[in-house]
Structure 1
Amino acid sequence: MANNSINPNTIVVLFKFIQNKAEYLRDFKNGNLYFSSLQYFIKLEENNGNHKTGDIYEGNIHQNINDLRHLHVADFEIPVTDVKSMSVDHEMPKSQKENLGICSFFAVQFKDLEK
């Protein structure tokens, strides 16, 4: 017997919001997607105070490490019992932030729909 249930994470519909300008709509209908640089979104927040679309942390990664099992630094093993907490931070170089882009969509998953 086949399993006919739908995975709740299945994307049902994908939305793309576009400014109401004829050339933008025409380009989208013709299959053209445009990507704004990560730096564009950083500047939106820095220069305009736009905290909804802008994001000063674009291109930054912060990861808390809670399940540390082994730690080696310069060929020395550090006992993990000596480490209370640890996090890793990485920031892309500005040149990458200027050259890498984002094209945003809004997804509606099956689990988002009401019965």
Structure 2
Amino acid sequence: MVNDPIGDMLIQIKNAALAKKGSLELPYSKLKKALADVLLAEGYIVSAQKTGVDPKANLKIGVKYAEGQSVITDVKRISKPGLRWYVGKSDIPTVVGGMGIAILSTPLGLMTGKEAKKRGVGGELLCKIW
């Protein structure tokens, strides 16, 4: 049993990228799909689709490469099940001088730190990706 499904998802994507895999499948959840949609919109993955039917549905994610290298250099899980990390709209961090993204869970749904600042909302800082 996985205690941190978001952390597990991020590490699986990173490991698939380092192993030069084209895609990976992991158990489906609405939160994982929302996170994958943010990564897709920001250009860190090439696809994210639900396969199968509930309750055995999976999420198939296509890993993105540029010139033979993975677009994702590293991921860092910030808010964990044992220690939640919340930030206000003025405390949202920049990642690697603006070269990466922070992903937040806000009352308006999952979004990047840049979008959360623009909308004037804070939330739970899930992870940083660069």
TM-score, length of structure 1 as denominator length = 0.24
Greater percentage in strand? 2
Greater Rg by CA: 1
| Higher RCO structure (Cα 8 Å, ≥6 apart) | 1
